[in-house]
Amino acid sequence: MKSRIAQAIETKHPPIALIWADEKPEGAMQFQEGRWGCIMWLAAAAAKGRPAACDVKTFGCFGGGVGMGFGNQYRSFPGSEEGFCHFLSSGIEGWKEGPAVAEKVKPFLNKESYDNFVHGERYVKTPEDVQRFVDHLPIIQIPKRYVVFRPLADVDPEKEPPQTVIFFADPDELSALVVLANYGRGSYENVFIPFAAGCQTLGIYPYREAESDRPRAVVGLTDLSARVSIRKQLGDHLLSFAMPFALFREMEANVEGSFLQRHTWQELLAAKRANRTA
């Protein structure tokens, strides 16, 4: 399906759809079972025109399994959920089971990953705070086998309705998307930025919003690790903007007659065009 929004904001990267499916598309990019990978690579592949898919055995990393809706995969983390809580925060120091777990995983990790396991990623202050983060995540088990990423232009919503529509947006594009999400609502907090893994802002958070009568959009890619993973695929200066499909349709219907056809946005577009051709 074509997107009026994409045409109006002239986004560099075309929007993609996240779909639940029982079959994966032919030629879809997929991680090998048991191999590490970042879900953001799958999303980036779709943004560049290639479908991608994952299932409960090929989600790439524990946070990705959670983010795509394959249950609480943190329980499978080395040292279980408690091990993850130390990994995301202060590391194994002070955790009595930590040294034994670290020795088990050491042969399977590169130097940086092992250092993160021992000393922590330090994204959250304490293991107890991480546990509260996990407890508040909208973790679910999706009812289909696969999560599929496709270019939105290749999707027939009557045959495979998206769960989420995702834009990778620069600051100007993101600003336009935020304004449009609030344009016809009569309320003005219709976009939010949670602390979460990059994939979780594409998956479980929009899934939760889809259950609401007034779903909100979710801004992501504030996850520093995800930014490292995606910069070689799509470049710097991007954030993600993920909408439940109902909100996407609402926003699509509001393009006509909106600020996107007025002078201020057209001035920003002209500057962007000039920068691209410079």
Look at residue 224 and tell me if it is in a domain. Answer: yes
Residues 129 and 251 in one domain: no
Residues 61 and 80 in one domain: no
Residues 164 and 195 in one domain: yes
Look at residue 272 and tell me if it is in a domain. Answer: no
Q: Which of 72, 64, 89 is nearest to 229 (CA)?
A: 64
pTM of the predicted structure, to 2 decimals: 0.94
| Predicted pLDDT at 117 | 87
Residues 131 and 176 in one domain: no
- Measured distance CA(137)–CA(4) in Å, rounded: 32
Residues 168 and 55 in one domain: yes
Q: Which residues of the chain have pLDDT under 50?
A: none
Residues 113 and 218 in one domain: no
**Which alpha helices (H) appear in 48-199, and where do they start and end?**
62-68, 80-88, 98-105, 111-119, 127-136, 171-183
Last residue of a domain, one of 136, 159, 191: 136
Q: Where in the sequence is the domain holding 120, given as residue range(s)?
A: 72-136
| Predicted pLDDT at 272 | 87
- 226 by Cβ neighbours in 10 Å (0-12 / 13-18 / 19+) ranks as buried
- Measured distance CA(162)–CA(270) in Å, rounded: 32
Over pLDDT 70: what percentage of the chain? 100
Quote the number of domains for the chain.
2
Residues 162 and 129 in one domain: no
